[in-house]
Structure 1
Amino acid sequence: MTDSTSRAPRRISIFDTSLRDGEQAPRNAMSPRTKLDLALRIEALGVDAVEAGFPASSAKDVEATRLISEALTTARVATLCRAVRSDVETAVEAAGTRNHQLQVIATASEIHLEHKRGITRRAALRELSEAISLASSLGVPFITLAMEDSSRGSLDLLRATVETALEAGATQVGVGDTMGCSTPGEFGALVATVRGWAPASASLTVHCHNDFGLALANTMAAIEAGADEVQVTLGGIGERAGNTALEEVVGLLAYKSEVYGATTDVKTEGMYEVYTAIRAAIALEEPRNKALFGTYAFATAAGMHQQGMLQNPLTYEYVEPSRFGRETQLLVARHSGRAVLRHVAVQSGLDLDDATVDLLYDKYVLGRADGECVQLGVLREEILSEMAGTTGLAR
């Protein structure tokens, strides 16, 4: 891990691509007005860049990019382009040049050169140079080299791509684990190598996918290796298994800043609300067990855990729910214990003997159907009704 004891944490730039990579996944399409609303919500979290879309791909992306570029006040507006003149021109027409971060995709692996593009390395470098030179001549202030499939490209190809882009006017180098096939060790080493090729004046961004569930780990390895910016999406939405989740990077750095020697300016408390708005926009069901944002990420129905948490939440809550706009939930299911039942009884002003507790436990805890979970308030009403003699508990 990074030794951060001798210096202040580095500030990591947060580039949100929920509205571009997140939107291009199946069933995630959003209207331009919806994207505008979400872009403003994402900006309010404190991110540094909001990627509006891929303008050359559709008229709706052009409209969304125009709306978002006109509305953002603190974050950069970002676009994605192929290394094609018309793509660059369309992006600049849609987003203008004020605070515009234009990404130019480079074919950065031999696999893509041969099987996707069917072009030579020389041709790929030539088109890249022309596209970046055009963007620079049009006055775009932030130009990112987006090396697609970096993690499968040879170092020789990657270095030539980086040097070509910087010479043409790129201000940032992007390393992408497009297929989500790298391990943290591999990706960290790659980022460190690429970082060594670029001058300090050129920042380095990373874009990771989650095909093996390693997007967060690879992104954190990249930060350790010197990445200046990370490209993320709320909830990890995106192509195939998704992208690195914004909330996981921000949350981890909020708790482990001293370990990684890095921090961000993103407000943790508002992220879940924005994620909920995105889910509503794309009709995405909330997962039950997702880190930080899962329905039950801060819930427990296990008796042993509940016993500890009733004494002090710290026993089983390292991450504070309120820090992420969430709340602790103690749910009653057949794995709950007597501790939660006694807690509810005391809160209801009831002084129950052990025999009554056992009877209530058998009926209202062990008696729950498989998979049934209820809030403590429901258990309270059940107990009060029982003690009032309305359900015939044998006493």
Structure 2
Amino acid sequence: MEKRRVSIFDTTLRDGEQAPRNTMTPHQKLDLALRIEALGVDVVETGFPASSALDAEATRLISRNLTRARFTTFCRALRSDIDCAVAAGGTRNHEVQILATSSELHLDRKRNISRKEAVHEIQDTVGYARRLGVPYISVGLEDASRGSDSLLRAQVEAGTDAGANTVVVADTSGCMTSEEYGELIGKIRSWAPPGVSVFTHCHEDFGLSTANTLAGLRAGADGMQTTLGGIGERAGNAAMEELVALLAYKSDTLGLYTDIDTAAMYTAYTALRDVIKLEQPRNKAIFGAYAFGSAAGIHQAGLLRDPATYEFVEPSRFGRERSILIARHSGRSVLRHLLAEMRVEVGEEELEALYRRHITERSGGDCEDISVLRGRLAEEMLALKATG
């Protein structure tokens, strides 16, 4: 099967930052932008310059320091927003993402404008950005998942006729199933002219952002908008690490791949967490504190013999380490393994006594790394040897 490369548009610094408690300074954004670029993403979104002087400054800094990826600014369908974006970042290597109002619900309840006005403002602002010399223009179809086919098609055709290079299909409220979103992407792909890219933009409200993004890619999307750690509005955005991991392991099955440096993602995520003071979740895929940790005896017995028994995703591939954690569910296999490492032989009765002292009577509800248990056992064995 011929494989197709998936482009990645990172929106950590814009959609990710606008969620509660995720605020970043311009210089923090610059540092993170350079880290994200180094991963191999194609596009880094800097923010919404017309919304604040801080986002304008972040755009100025990032636009002057990226060396490979292009940068994107977020704009409403207003000429003044585009002026702010261009004033901050210039036109070289600049993608302006123009927000389209793409559902009747948003037209009526949010904007109070007609469909005709919504189509016209996209045509007008795309053409305006093109005349200013902006080389890359995307139309972001906000709430596309609840828009009618006739409205969406009119906006796609108006935007691309005016010079847009990319159409972004946003499941803004995270309301779609994978089947629904894949069908929507297929329609947009059929309406967009050849040479115009289609990108996914999925949210996590039903926990389906990874699955929906994958469905969109399989339906013909050229790229995906993601954030590190899945940060973003409400429950978050599609997580870069989950999709990159999925394509890394299922590339042959899916016929899709990325060029992302998988081993460097966790370091970039850790830097992001430090900036926004994000506590590390315990159970999140790829980046969770215990994503590669085990405390259950049955699992540990398998992992100690061969990690492949319970690890399909390899921690080292993502800059992580495997952790064997000692808790009340840990079994005797951990003790046998450590004693064998120390070349100490004990009978079953002594093993049971060690198991009670070091695991069942100590662990309670807490976990400790296997290295701690190794140290205690070593001390005990030395003491026993010293006393004869």
Would you call these one fold, judging by a TM-score over 0.5?
yes
Distance in 1 between residues matched to 2:364 and 2:238, nearest whole Å:
34
- Residue 174 of structure 1 and its aligned partner are, at CA, apart by 1.1
Q: Give the one of 352, 361, 370 matched to 1:376.
A: 370
Matches within 5 A, 1:1-395: 5=1, 8-388=2-382
- SS across alignment from 1:212: coil
- Residue 382 of structure 1 and its aligned partner are, at CA, apart by 2.1
- Residue 369 of structure 1 and its aligned partner are, at CA, apart by 3.8
Letter in 2 for 1:194: I
- SS across alignment from 1:19: helix
Distance in 2 between residues matched to 1:147 and 1:141, nearest whole Å:
20
Letter in 1 for 2:89: A
Query: Identity across aligned pairs (percent)?
Result: 57
Distance in 2 between residues matched to 1:157 and 1:127, nearest whole Å:
13
- Residue 372 of structure 1 and its aligned partner are, at CA, apart by 1.1
Conserved? CA contact 2:22–2:276, under 8 Å: yes
Conserved? CA contact 2:142–2:172, under 8 Å: yes
Letter in 1 for 2:106: H
Conserved? CA contact 2:160–2:193, under 8 Å: no
Letter in 2 for 1:76: R
Conserved? CA contact 2:156–2:192, under 8 Å: yes
- SS across alignment from 1:21: helix
Letter in 2 for 1:280: D
Distance in 1 between residues matched to 2:118 and 2:74, nearest whole Å:
17
Conserved? CA contact 1:302–1:337, under 8 Å: yes
CA shift digits 1:347-395 (9 cap, x unpaired): 22321111110001112111234321111121122223334558xxxxx
Distance in 2 between residues matched to 1:230 and 1:368, nearest whole Å:
47
Conserved? CA contact 1:348–1:380, under 8 Å: no
- SS across alignment from 1:52: strand
Give the structure with the larger helix fraction: 2
Distance in 1 between residues matched to 2:284 and 2:244, nearest whole Å:
15
Specify the alignment match of 1:393 in structure 2.
none
CA shift digits 1:287-321 (9 cap, x unpaired): 00000000000010111111111111111111110
Distance in 2 between residues matched to 1:56 and 1:360, nearest whole Å:
65
TM-score for both structures, normalised by structure 1: 0.96
Distance in 2 between residues matched to 1:200 and 1:215, nearest whole Å:
26
Conserved? CA contact 2:198–2:222, under 8 Å: yes
Distance in 1 between residues matched to 2:48 and 2:319, nearest whole Å:
31
TM-score for both structures, normalised by structure 2: 0.97
Conserved? CA contact 1:13–1:264, under 8 Å: yes
Distance in 1 between residues matched to 2:339 and 2:145, nearest whole Å:
58
Distance in 2 between residues matched to 1:197 and 1:377, nearest whole Å:
58
Worse-matched range after superposition: 176-185 or 364-373: 364-373
CA shift digits 1:312-343 (9 cap, x unpaired): 11111111100000011111111011010111
Letter in 2 for 1:9: K
Distance in 2 between residues matched to 1:21 and 1:370, nearest whole Å:
41
Q: Where does the alignment leave 5 or more consecutive residues of structure 2 unmatched?
A: none
The CA RMSD over aligned residues, in Å, is 1.0
Distance in 1 between residues matched to 2:375 and 2:189, nearest whole Å:
61
- Runs of 4 or more consecutive aligned structure 1 residues displaced over 4 Å after TM superposition: none
Distance in 1 between residues matched to 2:303 and 2:375, nearest whole Å:
22
- Residue 118 of structure 1 and its aligned partner are, at CA, apart by 0.6
